[in-house]
Structure 1
Amino acid sequence: MDNIKVSVIIPVYNNSEYISTSLSSLINQDFDELYEIIVVDDGSTDNSLDIAQELLSKSNIPYKLLHQRNSGVSTARNHGIEVSRGEYLVFVDSDDYVLTNHLSELYNGKTDFTLTQMTKKGAESSFNCHDNLITAKDLIKMELQMLIPEFSFCQLIYKSDLIKNNNLKFDSKAVYGEDTEFALKALSYGESVAISQEITYFYIQREDSATSKAGLKRFNFIETLENLSKFYKSQGHDALANLIITSRIPKAIFGNMNYFFYHNYDFNEVIAKMKELDLFSKLSKFEGDFKFKLKIKLFLLNPKLYYKMWKKFKNTI
């Protein structure tokens, strides 16, 4: 692998306003080992690629600039994985940025993964973990129980062999949640995860980003989770498969539903979509925290009344 320790993969689509900040943060790492930056342009119509070329050509960091027809962020990331040469993989979105110690916190050359902390809209996305080293299976359980606030696949460094040897790719057909699915599948192939308490990743979500524009398609994440449950079951991880059905899916349904309520989506449209996707029966399968289970029961008993109460008390129920 030409002694390259880390490949940083950055998909870009019309991000001329942000790409300079993102790339500059990666070029100026305090990382002592050799790393490469791979920029995959997903058919941008602005000058994002020109900006990237100018910045990278003036640095002493090995880099690749790839161009593809507009095919989506998942295809772009997969393209980056294919040409990467590093022992480990790191993903950074082109409208986000990292601190100078991001790679040095993530890379240790020993564990299969490392997880660093992230901020989102000024709020820390850290979780209480007293251990510096945990199993990958334990991290999966934490995510499936949503014990890690705003978990993002970008918080992880991935051992390249685990990804390539298992032919793991981002789902290019998924509209929402394909990045979480990728991380949770990748973790199932590994053993060890180092935990850094340092906040090194800054997530900036634009109003016109694909995630922001997903709309009611955010509910499609439920299908992604169901497929992940089948994947775990095929691996013999029955407990993880069941945890998705009894915890992660109901919480994802409820969380997205409240997201729509908070952003003033039409109540009837939200309920119609939930009925279309059979989300009411999937909500009822929740097992766990009594308080959350009570919220679900109140909603299932009378959705309209719950909605009115939610609007009045603004997410305090």
Structure 2
Amino acid sequence: MLSNAHNVRYSVVIPVYNAAEYIVEALSSLNNQVVGNYSVDVILVNDGSTDNIIEVVEKFRSDFEMPVELISQDNQGVSVARNTGLSVANGDYVLFLDADDTLSSDFFFNITREICGSDKNINLLITSYRKVNRNTIDYFINKNIENDEEVKYRFLNGSLYCNMCTFIFKRKCIENIGLRFTSNVKFGEDIEFYAKYLFSQNDIAMVPDSFFNYHFRFNSAMNAKPGVKRFDAIEALFRVEQFLISHNVDKNLIDHFDRVYLPSRIERVFCQIVRDGTNFNEFIGLFLDAKIENILINNDVPALSVAIKCKLITYSPRFLFFLLKLIDFIRNNSWTNLNEKTKVH
């Protein structure tokens, strides 16, 4: 527990690549935080941008109340950029924010209140988030959970709302386990990082009333159609599995990871690759690996539809492939017809 007189220090690491259009909004959300017993320093890592991001940041920085460090490097990807920021962070806690996302104005105030008011020496805080579309806002609220083990099981069962920016990590704990983002990975590097951290820590706190705002943009990398590159996410989860084993995580948690979390994620990646428009022969060999087959066959996924698709990936992948294609075709055509009918002439 930290005393109420303790000034909690936060480091916010923001990787930026051609984000001049959005970065001021992100920085403004940091600059407009409710005053509290905390301090925030911002580390911007310019990952080889070709736009005017440096000019925009320099112009904004003169009116910024928090320290802003701007580091420029050759383009090496988001993982390396985050690692660069992490290497110079000196806050008690670290938060990773994307350049086009924002925080609620009371984000750090609520987190600090939880840290200072807890009888635990908190190693991880998990907040809620809002998905902001053009015309709608969807709320994903993580309710209070007192038991660390329950937090971990909820993560494995898919009932914990997770995003890289909903996790606030204690910096010393990151260093103690030597954790860094895996480079040269397009998908899954964020889940790999926070899953390894989550399962290696206790003294977890939920902060339901602090919100990270995920701004959904149709042109973002997360909304692209990368096809087989999505398989990176499965390989990332295999690295998590090895981490759990090597760090002597509870065997029941590892078993749940293998029988529930892994098969559900593999099924999800399979479906995403299909919906990206990938040719069947381009990727099916990836899923015919003996280890993946064993995971899918022996799944204990509670959602029946997911459990069935896990079996189909193994026993009849071609059938599932064309079934998903058919479902998408029907959905897309139904949506097109609906739009045509609702047009004003």
In the other structure, the counterpart of 1:190 is 201
Higher gyration radius (CA):
2
The structure-2 alpha-carbon separation of the partners of 1:50 and 1:285, relative to structure 1 and needing over 3 Å to count, comes to farther
TM-superposition CA deviations, 1:153-195 (whole Å, max 9, x none): 2101111111123221111132211111111222233212221
In the other structure, the counterpart of 1:96 is 101
TM-superposition CA deviations, 1:251-280 (whole Å, max 9, x none): 111112222333433344342443369644
Q: Secondary structure at the match of 1:296?
A: helix
Out of 257, 261, 266, the position equivalent to 1:244 is 257
In the other structure, the counterpart of 1:81 is 86
In the other structure, the counterpart of 2:72 is 67
Amino acid at match of 2:156: L
- Displacement of 1:53 in angstroms is 1.9
Please say if residues 226 and 245 of structure 1, whose CA atoms lie closer than 8 Å, have aligned partners that are also in contact: no
Q: Secondary structure at the match of 1:202?
A: strand
Out of 7, 12, 15, the position equivalent to 1:11 is 15
- Displacement of 1:233 in angstroms is 0.8
Please say if residues 125 and 148 of structure 1, whose CA atoms lie closer than 8 Å, have aligned partners that are also in contact: no
Please say if residues 263 and 301 of structure 2, whose CA atoms lie closer than 8 Å, have aligned partners that are also in contact: no
Out of 127, 137, 151, the position equivalent to 1:139 is 151
Q: Distance in 1 between matches of 2:150 and 2:74?
A: 39
The structure-2 alpha-carbon separation of the partners of 1:203 and 1:290, relative to structure 1 and needing over 3 Å to count, comes to closer
In the other structure, the counterpart of 1:23 is 27
Amino acid at match of 1:191: N
Amino acid at match of 1:19: I
Aligned length: 311
Q: Secondary structure at the match of 2:147?
A: strand
Are 1:112 and 2:126 matched, yes or no? Answer: no
The structure-2 alpha-carbon separation of the partners of 1:115 and 1:39, relative to structure 1 and needing over 3 Å to count, comes to same
- Displacement of 1:235 in angstroms is 1.3
The structure-2 alpha-carbon separation of the partners of 1:51 and 1:100, relative to structure 1 and needing over 3 Å to count, comes to same
The sequence identity of aligned pairs, in percent, is: 29
Q: Distance in 1 between matches of 2:276 and 2:27?
A: 32
- Displacement of 1:293 in angstroms is 2.3
- Displacement of 1:130 in angstroms is 4.7
Amino acid at match of 2:259: T
Q: Distance in 1 between matches of 2:317 and 2:180?
A: 38
Please say if residues 140 and 184 of structure 1, whose CA atoms lie closer than 8 Å, have aligned partners that are also in contact: no
Q: Give the aligned CA root-mean-square deviation in angstroms.
A: 2.6
- Displacement of 1:311 in angstroms is 4.2
Please say if residues 163 and 186 of structure 1, whose CA atoms lie closer than 8 Å, have aligned partners that are also in contact: yes
Are 1:264 and 2:277 matched, yes or no? Answer: yes
The structure-2 alpha-carbon separation of the partners of 1:277 and 1:75, relative to structure 1 and needing over 3 Å to count, comes to farther
Q: Distance in 2 between matches of 1:50 and 1:67?
A: 12
Amino acid at match of 2:130: T
In the other structure, the counterpart of 2:335 is none
Q: Secondary structure at the match of 1:67?
A: strand
Please say if residues 227 and 278 of structure 2, whose CA atoms lie closer than 8 Å, have aligned partners that are also in contact: no
In the other structure, the counterpart of 1:217 is 229
In the other structure, the counterpart of 2:180 is 169
Out of 51, 55, 66, the position equivalent to 1:50 is 55
The structure-2 alpha-carbon separation of the partners of 1:303 and 1:42, relative to structure 1 and needing over 3 Å to count, comes to same
In the other structure, the counterpart of 2:317 is 303
- Displacement of 1:54 in angstroms is 1.7
Q: Which moved more, 1:95-104 or 1:182-191?
A: 182-191
Q: Secondary structure at the match of 1:78?
A: helix
Q: Which moved more, 1:161-170 or 1:208-217?
A: 208-217
Q: Which moved more, 1:209-218 or 1:49-58?
A: 209-218
Q: TM-score, normalised by structure 1?
A: 0.87
Q: Secondary structure at the match of 2:230?
A: helix
Amino acid at match of 2:10: V
Q: Secondary structure at the match of 2:208?
A: strand
